[in-house]
Amino acid sequence: MKDVYILGIESSCDETSVSIVKNGTEEIATVISSQIDIHKDFGGVVPEIASRHHVKNITIVLEECLQKANMKMEDVDAIAITYGPGLIGSLLIGLEAAKTLSFIYNKPLIPVHHIAGHIYANSLVKELQFPLLAVVVSGGHTELIEMDKHYSFKKIGGTLDDAIGECYDKVARVIGLEYPGGPKLDKLASEGKDTYKLPIPLRDDSYNFSFSGLKSAVINLAHNEEQRGNEINKADLATSFQKVAIESITSKVRKAIEQNNIKNVVIAGGVAANNGLRTAMKELTDQLGVELSIPPMKYCTDNGTMIAAAGYYAYLDGRRADLSLNSKSQDILK
Ligand code: KG4
Ligand code: ZN
């Protein structure tokens, strides 16, 4: 079969990224322009500022990627674009760029759901095996997705309130860590002891999660200690929090593996970078004799490579969009 080169564009939040991937598995070139330093002072991503920076960056990032790949737009077979979910103003910038390229160069436009991208970041590492369970853990999502073949997604569980990354960022802020606090909290957790008692959320038979109660418990604990004039031990609180947060994920993942004959577990999304989660998932899958895929750190946060990789399988599945494609801030993966 002829080689297929997909150009992937990602702009759903605060990263502007373009990448070219060959046959869904081989990264040819990637350029990522991150705005983390710009939003740090605000304690979170400011949507309007993010959109303006995407506008400024998109053509530069695209040109740099083509240059790095030593390719021209004519060499690309199709354009994959994150149409959603995400920040609407940010999504629209990538989408308009993708549509323009598709129109000018007469290339198929492939709509890619952002979470499909995070899942397919794993296919850049090793071949996916089915039935597969994707543990999607990011700033906006906490979901269990079952796949029995390529590009076929069935959500079997998800968070009823906050996403795990969002919870990490809020707890990190309470502890006094700078945005984005998730990675810093993860590091601190490796330095403390599990001394604070926190409630394990949603211990039920479903595959669902809940993180708002855990978040409130940490906020209340810190507040009560402050009122009593006690200083909290930040490292110990980080360790105690991380233990409960991860346990609430692994207990549901264990159930999903056992009840659905899963062969391959993949971790997807920004929180896949979490060291505690990586270790716990490795232990669990070793114990159950299941293959585990974890993307390297560079593919965990938002990037165009994962969109191009997912775009390849969407392309093989016959998915195409026309120029009426619109961005969606919310959308179910299907
Ligand atoms: O997937 P992502 O880049 O953006 C979304 O699509 O949401 O995920 C970003 C989230 C942030 O909440 C960030 O704090 C969290 O992933 N994160 C982590 C770690 N690295 C990133 N959370 C916990 N531990 C980490 N090591
Ligand atoms: Zn993401």
Answer yes or no: do 170 and 286 share one domain: yes
Phi, psi dihedrals of residue 301, rounded to the nearest 5°: -85, 170
Atom of ligand 1 at shortest range from CA of 273: 26
Of the ranges 16-25, 29-38, 264-273, 307-316, which one carries the lowest mean pLDDT score? 29-38
Distance 136 CA to ligand 1 centre (A): 11
Range of the domain at 180: 129-293
Answer yes or no: do 147 and 289 share one domain: yes
Query: Is there a domain that residue 321 lies in?
Result: no
Query: Is there a domain that residue 331 lies in?
Result: no
What CATH number should be reported for the domain holding residue 107?
A: 3.30.420.40
- Directed axis angle between helix 181-189 and helix 164-175, to 10°? 70
Residue scoring higher pLDDT (180 or 144): 144
Distance 204 CA to ligand 1 centre (A): 26
Distance 269 CA to ligand 2 centre (A): 5
Answer yes or no: do 198 and 157 share one domain: yes
Kindly report whether the global pTM for this prediction surpasses the value 0.85. Answer: yes
Q: Considering only CA atoms, which residue is closest to atom 4 of ligand 1?
A: 139
Query: Is there a domain that residue 248 lies in?
Result: yes
Q: pLDDT at residue 238 above 90?
A: yes
Query: Is there a domain that residue 325 lies in?
Result: no
Distance 147 CA to ligand 2 centre (A): 19
Answer yes or no: do 53 and 145 share one domain: no
Instruction: Give the per-residue pLDDT at 283.
Output: 98
Q: State the chain's mean pLDDT as an integer.
A: 94
Q: Is 311 in the pocket of ligand 1 (CB under 6 A)?
A: no
Answer yes or no: do 185 and 254 share one domain: yes
Answer yes or no: do 153 and 275 share one domain: yes
Answer yes or no: do 83 and 165 share one domain: no
Domain tally, the chain: 2
Answer yes or no: do 13 and 100 share one domain: yes
Answer yes or no: do 94 and 164 share one domain: no
Q: Considering only CA atoms, which residue is closest to atom 5 of ligand 1?
A: 139
Provide, rounded to the nearest whole percent, the portion of the chain with pLDDT above 90.
85
Query: Is there a domain that residue 34 lies in?
Result: yes
Compute the average pLDDT of residues 87-106. 97
Q: pLDDT at residue 200 above 90?
A: no
Phi, psi dihedrals of residue 190, rounded to the nearest 5°: -80, -5
Q: pLDDT at residue 262 above 90?
A: yes
Query: Is there a domain that residue 322 lies in?
Result: no
Which of 330, 320, 310, 315 is CA-nearest to residue 8? 310
Q: Considering only CA atoms, which residue is closest to atom 19 of ligand 1?
A: 183
Q: Is 269 in the pocket of ligand 1 (CB under 6 A)?
A: yes
Distance 250 CA to ligand 1 centre (A): 18
Q: Is 312 in the pocket of ligand 1 (CB under 6 A)?
A: no
